[in-house]
Amino acid sequence: MRWAVLTALVIVAATFAARAVISSGRASVERPRVGAEELSVRDALAGGSTERTVVTGFGFFDPGLGVTRICDGRTRDDPPACVGPTVTLVSFDPARFTYAPADGAAGEAIRHTPEEVTVLGSRLGDQLEVVEVLR
């Protein structure tokens, strides 16, 4: 009976240890704080409406492609990486966001906003035509 109990305890401890090792290899993900009248990127994409929508997420600008996106989450790495669904901002001047200092060569590194951004825009598929930057 004692061996059965000890074996069970060893199996449980090994399972928890394995989970800790596996999860430590994954980057921690930060999700935006979404206000009452706002939608996360994931929720905005899930809705079928093309009417004006307020979307909150993390801004990323790729100067090589000339593309600005809002991501549903980001890693806690330095620099962070975009995680989850994204909306691409169209007809948008990337200078309307404030970005964290770039680590790479000027004009080449993907830039990210240090905080969440919130925009008002009209969605068409995975694109958002920005009308106004709210924060």
For residue 2, name the pLDDT band (cuts at 50, 70, 90).
Answer: low
Over 50: is that where the pLDDT of 124 sits? Answer: yes
pLDDT tens-digit profile of 9-59? Answer: 334 334 433 343 333 345 699 999 999 999 999 999 998 767 789 999 999
CATH number listed for the domain at residues 29-133: 2.40.50
Radius of gyration of the chain (CA): 20
**How distant, in Å, are the alpha carbons of 20, 69, 75, 77, 78 from that of 25?**
9, 26, 13, 12, 16
Rounded Cα gap, residues 43 and 96, in angstroms: 24
pLDDT tens-digit profile of 76-92? Answer: 998 999 999 999 999 89
* The model's pTM: 0.75
CA atoms within 13 A on the CB side of 134: 14
Q: According to the model, what pLDDT value does residue 3 have?
A: 47
Rounded Cα gap, residues 21 and 37, in angstroms: 39
